[in-house]
Structure 1
Amino acid sequence: MIFKRLSLIAMLTALCLVSLGAYVRLSDAGLGCPDWPGCYGALTVPQSVDAIAQAQTVYPHAPVEAGKAWKEMAHRYVAAVLGLMVLALFILGWKNKSSIRTSPWVTTGLAGLIVFQALLGMWTVTLLLKPVVVSAHLLGGMSTLAILVWIAHRHWGTQIGRHMIPASYYWLIRVALLVLFAQIFLGGWTSTNYAALACTDFPTCHGQWLPAMDFKDAFHLHRELGESADGGNLTLASLTAIQWTHRIGAVITLIYLGFMAVNGLKYGQLKTLSIALLCVLLAQISLGIANLLLHLPLVLAVGHNFGAALLVVIVVLLNSKITAQSR
């Protein structure tokens, strides 16, 4: 079935896109193109002398940096391909609603999410990397990945149903998605506010367990990048609050997902996924600490984002695994 194969390809594309988006953001290429959806008014990055001159005339305050622009456009090209795949899944879902293993309303919701993601991508550029927009774009990308993983697993994987595990463990897996996405938001908020190195020591922060922090400005959602709620510069105390909260979230996530994974080892059909969750979870925590101590090298920072995407994949697989097929 075309729908089945396409769901798997789209899932893998979304996983690549999330990592590519992290690479673009972390290499400061998010504004590599000052407009959207093109780049300096064209579908490709200006290359010739005349094209660059024309681009600088139209956008005098945005010097052409070909390297950054190509990174941004590569991200947009892959996003466009994924968008076409989701459109195809939407059409095929309704056309074959009697034979697919998910409700066509799932693909409808996914299509709507893709449209909203495109708008967030545009606002990311036009609103000059406003933290709440960039963080929402990250959550939207992870949500897109999660839905595609669900669709793919319903067609490629097997389910055991909730009756095979205790109710307490069933709900532990369900709530894990909320815990994980809350931590992804904190990680995205840390990255988009450039607060990843607000504390450069570990496990303390500025040599203290409870450093001076300003939570009011740190989590004010409607401010501009680098600004406080009243328009002033964001202080070190605010950046510290963001970083410190992300650390606390990491501890909570480690304990919660770790406990869930260890308990999952008792159930044969969940054992492989539980082992994978433990491995990725430990790798993710190690990458987070390494990013801090090594001052955020690009390869480790992108790897940390990829690790978060893998955690989403595994937790969604567990949720699909315990949900019996309805047809």
Structure 2
Amino acid sequence: MNRGLKFFGVLTSLGMILVLLQGAIVTKTDSGDGCGDTWPLCFGEVIPSSTALATLIEYSHRLVSGFVGLLVIILAIWSWKKLSHVKETNFWALMAVLFIIFQGMMGAAAVVFGHSNIVLALHFGISAISLATVVILTILAFEDGHNPPAPRVRKGFRNYLFFVLVYAYLVIYTGAYVKHTGSTYACTSFPFCDPVASSMTLQTIVQIVHRSAAILLVVLLIILAIKAIRYYRESKALTVCAWISVALIFIQATAGVLIVMLPQYYMATL
């Protein structure tokens, strides 16, 4: 059932991941000004005549983002038509359209009005939410026709889950802010911060705030997983997703630690 919709959902999800990766490359290579301050045109041209690497990176990111944005809108409309009997569909289809439009507007604002660190970090955060809406629509397509009944959970557990979701987004935002403020290597040790400068700087504070928030998120997700297994072990979806979230946050935390520590280890061995 809905084989075409399932395939299209997976394709769109992969496209959104590609957009996120391209956005990271744009940031890493400082290619945000690769098309000047014009949007959606590049230096006022439909196809830029410049062959500079920054222009190619930024222009390809815009092309892929525009194409994937169209896929997201098609997926939302398709899901709304085929899965209207699933009560969650209308909400997530609307969210998918709104957030993909908002994502594009944030990207345009960053180009036209300057690369504010706050705007750039928010742009990444909105992109993450947009990806989540697409993944949820894809999951609904796969569950249609043979999805188990939704587990009945306590109000306290539901409120805690929503709190963790909102808090996780804030942690994602702080991580993006670390990147866009150049605070990645403001501390040379882990878990405690050994500032690069002799005094506390904005970059050091940003790094410490992100670390503290990330460590707390790990704790909150472990508690969430324990609650899910203890009280709702009959729900396979809840328990599996809880442990997946814990596994992913540990992978993310490990990657963050390695980003900071590996350059220090490399320098020490020279």
Give the TM-score category using the shorter length.
Answer: 0.7 to 0.9
Is there any run of 5+ residues in structure 1 with no aligned partner, and where? 47-51, 53-63, 214-236, 297-327
Letter in 1 for 2:29: S
Of 253, 258, 264 in structure 2, the residue corresponding to residue 290 of structure 1 is 258
Alignment CA distance shift 1:73-1:207 (3 Å): closer
CA contact (8 A) 2:188 2:195 kept: no
Q: CA deviation at 1:185?
A: 0.9
Alignment of 1:171 onto 2:139: no
Q: Distance in 2 between matches of 1:106 and 1:21?
A: 24
Q: CA deviation at 1:247?
A: 0.7
SS in 2 for 1:294: helix
Alignment of 1:272 onto 2:240: yes
Q: Which residue of 2 aligns with 1:221?
A: none
Q: Distance in 2 between matches of 1:289 and 1:265?
A: 29
Aligned length: 253
Alignment CA distance shift 1:3-1:190 (3 Å): same
Of 28, 31, 37 in structure 2, the residue corresponding to residue 29 of structure 1 is 31
CA contact (8 A) 2:89 2:140 kept: no
Of 150, 174, 193 in structure 1, the residue corresponding to residue 136 of structure 2 is 150
Task: Provide the alpha-carbon RMSD of the alignment.
Answer: 2.7
Q: Which residue of 2 aligns with 1:194?
A: 182
Q: Which residue of 2 aligns with 1:127?
A: 113
Alignment CA distance shift 1:264-1:104 (3 Å): closer
Letter in 2 for 1:83: G
**Whose relative contact order is higher, 1 or 2, with alpha carbons under 8 Å and at least 6 apart?**
1
Q: Distance in 1 between matches of 2:75 and 2:61?
A: 21
Of 104, 107, 110 in structure 1, the residue corresponding to residue 93 of structure 2 is 107
Letter in 2 for 1:29: S
Q: Which residue of 1 aligns with 2:219?
A: 255
Higher-helix-fraction structure:
2
Q: Which residue of 2 aligns with 1:162?
A: 151
Alignment of 1:239 onto 2:227: no
Q: CA deviation at 1:137?
A: 0.8
Alignment CA distance shift 1:100-1:271 (3 Å): closer
Q: CA deviation at 1:207?
A: 6.1
Letter in 2 for 1:176: V
Alignment CA distance shift 1:295-1:92 (3 Å): same
Q: Distance in 2 between matches of 1:253 and 1:98?
A: 35
CA contact (8 A) 2:195 2:204 kept: no
SS in 1 for 2:41: coil
Alignment CA distance shift 1:79-1:99 (3 Å): same
Letter in 2 for 1:161: A
Is there any run of 5+ residues in structure 2 with no aligned partner, and where? 265-270
Alignment of 1:42 onto 2:28: no
Q: Distance in 2 between matches of 1:259 and 1:171?
A: 14
Q: Which residue of 2 aligns with 1:20?
A: 22
CA contact (8 A) 1:201 1:292 kept: yes
Alignment CA distance shift 1:41-1:203 (3 Å): same
CA contact (8 A) 2:187 2:207 kept: yes
Q: Distance in 2 between matches of 1:262 and 1:144?
A: 28
Alignment CA distance shift 1:264-1:212 (3 Å): farther
Where in structure 2 are the equivalents of 1:1-80 lying within 5 Å? 1=2, 2-34=4-36, 35-46=38-49, 52=50, 66-80=52-66
Q: Distance in 1 between matches of 2:63 and 2:180?
A: 22
CA contact (8 A) 1:10 1:86 kept: yes
Q: Distance in 2 between matches of 1:99 and 1:5?
A: 20
CA contact (8 A) 1:4 1:152 kept: yes
Alignment CA distance shift 1:91-1:190 (3 Å): same
For normalisation by structure 1, the TM-score amounts to: 0.68
Q: Distance in 2 between matches of 1:207 and 1:8?
A: 43
For normalisation by structure 2, the TM-score amounts to: 0.81
Alignment CA distance shift 1:123-1:189 (3 Å): same
CA contact (8 A) 1:134 1:192 kept: yes
Q: Distance in 2 between matches of 1:74 and 1:144?
A: 20
Alignment CA distance shift 1:195-1:148 (3 Å): same
Alignment of 1:116 onto 2:102: yes
Q: Distance in 1 between matches of 2:195 and 2:203?
A: 16
